[in-house]
Structures are given as C-alpha cells and as structure tokens.
Amino acid sequence: MLNEHYNSYVSFEIEPQPSKHELRKKGETSPLLSLSQECIPANILKIDHLWIMTSLVKLQLGNNIIEKIENLEMLVNLRELDLSFNNIEKIENLEELVKLEILLLFENRISVIENINTLTELMIFSIGNNRIDSWDNVIYLRQFSALRSLNMAGNPCAEKLNFRSYVCAFLPNLTYYKYKMITLTERNDACQEYSSSLEKLEAREAKETHEKEEKEKAKKELEYHMEAYVEGLNTDELFITMFKDDKEEFLPPSEDIEIKASVLSSLVWFTAGDKVVILASFHEQMMEVIGQLFSIGLRQHEVREEEMTLFMACVNKAKEENRLNSQHLMEEFLFKKAEVFNNIRELAKTVEDQNEEDLSSQIDEMQKHSDSYHEFCQKTWYDLMEAELTLFEQLEETNGNFERNLNDLVGSFIEQAQSLFTHIRNLEQNFSEQLNECATHYLTNLNVRLEDRNLNVPLELIPVSHCHILRDVDRWSYLDEIADKVSKAERDRHMDKLKERRRQRQDQDLRQNRLEETTE
C-alpha cells in the first residue's frame, strides 16, 4: 500500500523507460513506492486508479492523450497539477482540489475557463495554446485573489490588440503575464485606458459582494432562528400561510391598472362601510402577538444555551478532577514501585555474599516487599476504579439534572407559546366574525342591486357568474367556516412542528452526551 511519504509526487510523462536491471537493483517494491523518481512511459487516455494516493501533492500527466479531467476528487492534498499537451476540451471535476496552487493546461482544446471557482489558492495558471476566444474569461479570473502568474498566449483572444493591457488592468493582483513581470507603469497605463469599464465592473462586483454578504448574514440568522425554533416569526410568514390558499376568485381580472390598484389597495371586500380595513387590523394585531412569540423564543434559546454551557462546564470540570486524581494515584504507584524494586535489588546484592543458611532473613524481607507491592497494586486498582465509578455517578446525576432542567425550560417555552397561540386563535375568530358581518352587509347591497357609496365598490367589478354564489348566505357561511378551519390547522401545524423539533433536538443532545461518556 502506498504511504504518505512515497506518494507525494508522481510523474507520468513520456520519457525513456528504466531497465529491468535498474528496477531489480532497487528492489521489488521500489518501482511502486518511488514513483517520484521513476519515468513511466505511457499514452494515457483516461485518468484512473489514483484514488488511493490521497496524500499526493504533485501530479504530472503531461504529454498524453487524455480527453477528460476525471477521477481526481480524492486527491484533496494536491498542490500542483500538470495536464499540458493533451486533448482536453473542458475544465471540469476539479472542485475538490481546494489546495491546488499550480494548474497547467497548456496546449489543449479548451474554449472556456470555467468550473474552478473553488480553487481559491490558485497562484500559477497556464492555459496557453488553447481555443479561448472571449475576453470575458479574464473577468472570470478576477475572483482568484492569490493568482500571481498567468499565461494565455496562443489563444485567439490573446492575438487581439491590447490584450496584455486588458489583463494588466482587470487582474490587479497579477504579477507575471506570459512569465514576464508587469511593471507599475504598464499597469497604470492599462488602468487609465480601461478606467470607464473598470469603474462599472467594480461597482457591479461591489453590489454582488454586498448581496452575497447579505445572503450569508440572512443564512446565519435563519440558522440561529431555527436553533431557537422561531424561524419565520420575525416576518409575516405565519400570517401569510393562513391565507396562502385564498384565491380571491371573486376579484375580476382587469386590464385597467387604476381600477385594479384601487380595489386591491382599499381591500374593499373586507370593509364594513368605514375607513377601517379589517384585514389590515387583523394583520397588525397578529404581527404584534407573533413578535412577542419571536422575542420569547429568542430569550428561551439564550437560557437553554446558558444551561448547556453550565452543563458542559460541570462535566468537563468533573472529568478534569478525575484525570488529576488518577494521575496522582499513578504517580504514587510508580514511585512506590521504584522504591520496592530498588529495595529488592539491594537485598539481591547482599544475598550473593552470604551462605545458604543465612538467606532466610533476606528471603523473608524480599517476600515482605513483594507482598507490599502486590497490596499497593491492588489498592491503586481499587482507588482508580472508585474514582471512575464516582465520575460515572456524578455524570449520571448531572445528566439527570440537565434533562429535568431542559424539560422545564422547554415546557415553560411551550406554555408561553400555547398562551400566545390561544390569543392568535381569538384574534382569528374575531376576524372571522367581522368578515362574516361584512359579507352579509355586502350581500344585502348586492341583492337589491344598489351601489353603496360608503362601501365604495363598483358593482361592475363583480362577475355575473359569481352573483349566484354571493347571494347564497349558506355558502358564504360554509366558506367562512372552511377558512377558519384552514387557519387553525396551519396554526396547530406550526405548534406541533415546534414541539417535535424540540423533542428531536433534546434526544440528540442526550444521546451525544452519553456517547461521549461511554467513549471516555
């Protein structure tokens, strides 16, 4: 099996083959274990069988007939890769080589620089004599802040006028192009030449960077809220889910933007003849209660995290005390052992100069030392086992206390959440009653076919096909009842999801703690 020392460098370039005598002279395994010093000739068509060499840092596969980059994902420690003089048409399958610093793709058939976004440590990149035509590939390389040397000579894009100046201007961290150093004067002139394009590009990149940072911030915030079981409660997501299946099909599709905007903005189908919009009021009241639930969730999460911190501190302290105590016992044992063995050696020296008749006292003395040593061994073993048992009992008690405290905290949070959900249920019931009152009021006006100035709803906006439905009071009541059930179901679903996730997290934490105890 190839080890880390021998598989750090492999070369598969076409060079003269070593003789059998040389291979035999090095030994049976030498040709395999010392590939860094061997020249193995091959017309390699496919990259394969390298997965075992995970410690490889340099790989040369130049001067072959390779058509596709593949089977390199296991070489995560690779720092230099040479695939020059092959038949490669696309850059691919390099995402896992995040430590790669040198990438050589000279003399291939590549037309686009792509799929190397993860190679953040790339310093030297040679892709000359390929088929790259667009200057946009230079812009793609701006993301590699560590890139210092670039060679794109021999590509169609490099044959165009002022390409070197373009590279100097748009790759500010680049030091060498075509292995020739970029002077300060050359870079300043290039930046001046492309100043307008640079400003636009930098502005776009700044915007993209800001958006990326905002997304990362939002992602971290969402993860924190998920840990606190309050995700989505800092927005009106819960409120919206209660109405997500409402199609409002009684609103006609209208090409008249002004009429449509007027109807939607005033929410007239929820208005009871005055300027107070029921839906807006319901939304405001709901958001106030949901905001309270969100704040309580965050506070309870902080309390649980503090409890977890105290628990881990207590566990670590008990383990450290046990370690120090066990270490002290072992030091005493080793000291006693050295003392006993030293006394026995001294007695052995005196025995050599005495007759057999005088040996009885020395033998008795040795037996006493031996018995003392065995007794001390037994005592040390008992003391160590007692310390281990004490630690186990302490951790068992601590785990029990932690579980009870966590259950109390979770129970407290659930009680507060249930209280707020009860408030939400009451708000929803009140909204349902007001909505039914509005519907009845509107039906009255519709049945007599009169325009109510206070209601401010043009009857022309109501499709004729819906009039028989709107006149049906029983159907209105049925629809209102269904909407109420849907809202309650969504609210209860959110509450059940909170309980289930909390239970799973608690079980996971307890299993992890017990596993750590068993391991130690």
Q: How far apart (Å, rounded) are the C-alpha atoms in residues 79 and 58?
A: 6
364 found inside a domain: no
Where does 228-277 have alpha helices with state H?
Answer: 237-241, 257-266
- Is the sign of the CA dihedral 415, 419, 421, 422 positive or negative? positive
Full residue range of the structural domain in which residue 94 is found: 9-193
Q: Locate 517 and state its tokens.
A: 């105890």
Higher pLDDT, 21 or 363: 363
**Interval 281-319: pLDDT, tens:** 777 888 888 888 889 989 988 998 898 899 999 999 999
Could you tell me which residues come within 8 angstroms of residue 33 by beta carbon, excluding any fewer than 6 positions away?
Answer: 2, 3, 6
Q: At what angle do helices 163-170 and 195-227 cross, to 10 degrees?
A: 40
**Beta-sheet strands, E only, within 98-152:** 102-104, 124-126, 149-151
Q: How far apart (Å, rounded) are the C-alpha atoms in residues 249 and 316?
A: 62
Contact yes or no for 52/30 (Cβ under 8 A): no
Judge if 204 and 314 occupy the same domain: no
Weakest mean pLDDT among 19-33, 141-155, 221-235, 237-251: 19-33
Judge if 389 and 278 occupy the same domain: yes
Q: How far apart (Å, rounded) are the C-alpha atoms in residues 436 and 429?
A: 11
290 found inside a domain: yes
Of 167, 193, 219, the position where a domain reaches its end is 193
| Residue reference for tokens 């109405």 | 243
**Interval 239-250: pLDDT, tens:** 777 766 655 443
341 found inside a domain: no
Q: How far apart (Å, rounded) are the C-alpha atoms in residues 294 and 177?
A: 56
Contact yes or no for 130/110 (Cβ under 8 A): yes
53 found inside a domain: yes
Judge if 255 and 311 occupy the same domain: yes
* CB neighbours of residue 130 within 10 Å: 24
Confidence at residue 270, expressed as pLDDT on a 0 to 100 scale:
41
Judge if 210 and 111 occupy the same domain: no
Could you tell me which residues come within 8 angstroms of residue 387 by beta carbon, excluding any fewer than 6 positions away?
Answer: 322, 325, 326, 329
Contact yes or no for 14/43 (Cβ under 8 A): yes
Q: At what angle do helices 163-170 and 184-193 cross, to 10 degrees?
A: 90
Whichever domain contains 161, its CATH number is 3.80.10.10
| CA nearest neighbour of 328 among 318, 320, 338, 340 | 320
Instruction: Provide the CA 293 distance to its chain's centre, in angstroms.
Output: 27
Counting the structural domains of the chain, the total is 3
| Whole-number average pLDDT of the chain | 76
Alpha-carbon distances of 133 from 33, 109, 126, 210, rounded to whole Å:
43, 12, 16, 31
**Interval 52-101: pLDDT, tens:** 888 899 999 989 989 999 999 999 999 999 999 999 999 999 999 999 99
